Amino acid sequence: MPDPVQVRSMFGRIARRYDFLNRLLSMGIDRGWRRTMLRTAGQMEGARVVDVCCGTGDVAFTFQAAGADVVGIDFTPEMLLLAAAKDAARSGRFVRGDALALPVRTACADAVTIAFGIRNVADRAQGLAELARVARPGGRVLVLEFTLPPGRISGALYRLYFTRILPFVGGFVSGDRAAYRYLPDTVLAWPDPRTFQREMEAVGLVDCGFRLLTGGIACLSFGTVPRATTPST
């Protein structure tokens, strides 16, 4: 189980090089993943979106560009400062908050997003319940996270990259080897997409599913908050 104090400290240490390393280590593929997340969310013009574990704001900016009103939430002050600095138009709102107790009211968002953040939450079930709480009835919950490719050969090659090359490059550039050792360790411990889908269903989400991206190195999971049913007479 991730320790919140250690996770916050780690992201604070690597915040300055975070965006550069994301582009470098993913070879820019992460931009396409965020666009897929946006398309899966549906029409976002005028929609209200809460982006949890927002980091430096990349998901929030993707949804803003599509016309959404976005609130980004993160518990690492250094990340929030960078997100605010990147928001030249000052149209977004970035606030400090914990994913296990989000500082927003119930059923306030048309979509709730979290990218590469739920893996760092100390209590995943509670974190998912909070995402579901914040979305309105009929609203979407979208979770973008790393996973492991299903193929034997592709899986082995990816493990080699993820456990050897990525920690070396990330640690060298950031100066924090522990942070980029943490990444593969937590991904290797992450549940497979179908198991995670059942966890989303367990907090009451419906129409859940997932889409493997880029050969299965990332996974977009999604679910919907059920609409209220009218009692029969």
Contact 100, 123 (CB under 8 A): yes
Residue 175 falls inside a structural domain: yes
Please write the tens of the pLDDT for every residue from 163-195.
777 777 777 777 777 877 877 788 888 999 999
Domain count of the chain? Answer: 1
Average pLDDT over residues 107-113: 98
What is the pLDDT, as a whole number, of residue 186? 85
Average pLDDT over residues 203-208: 98
What is the pLDDT, as a whole number, of residue 164? 79
Please write the tens of the pLDDT for every residue from 17-72.
777 777 776 778 999 999 999 999 999 999 999 999 999 999 999 999 999 999 99
The residue segments making up the domain with residue 176 are 4-224
What is the pLDDT, as a whole number, of residue 229? 62
Residue 218 falls inside a structural domain: yes
Residue 232 falls inside a structural domain: no
Residue 208 falls inside a structural domain: yes
Q: Decide if pLDDT at 209 tops 80.
A: yes
Ranked by mean pLDDT, the top range of 147-156, 169-178, 216-225 is: 216-225
Q: Decide if pLDDT at 106 tops 90.
A: yes
What is the pLDDT, as a whole number, of residue 233? 46
Q: Decide if pLDDT at 90 tops 90.
A: no
What is the average pLDDT score of the chain?
Answer: 88
pLDDT > 70: what percent of the chain?
Answer: 94
For the domain that residue 66 is a member of, what is the CATH number? 3.40.50.150
Q: Decide if pLDDT at 211 tops 60.
A: yes
Sheet holding 218-224, edge to edge: 93-96, 69-74, 48-52, 109-115, 135-146, 218-224, 206-213
Give the pLDDT band (50/70/90) at residue 7.
Answer: confident
Q: Decide if pLDDT at 103 tops 90.
A: yes
Residue 229 falls inside a structural domain: no
Q: Decide if pLDDT at 230 tops 60.
A: no
Average pLDDT over residues 96-102: 96
What is the pLDDT, as a whole number, of residue 148? 85
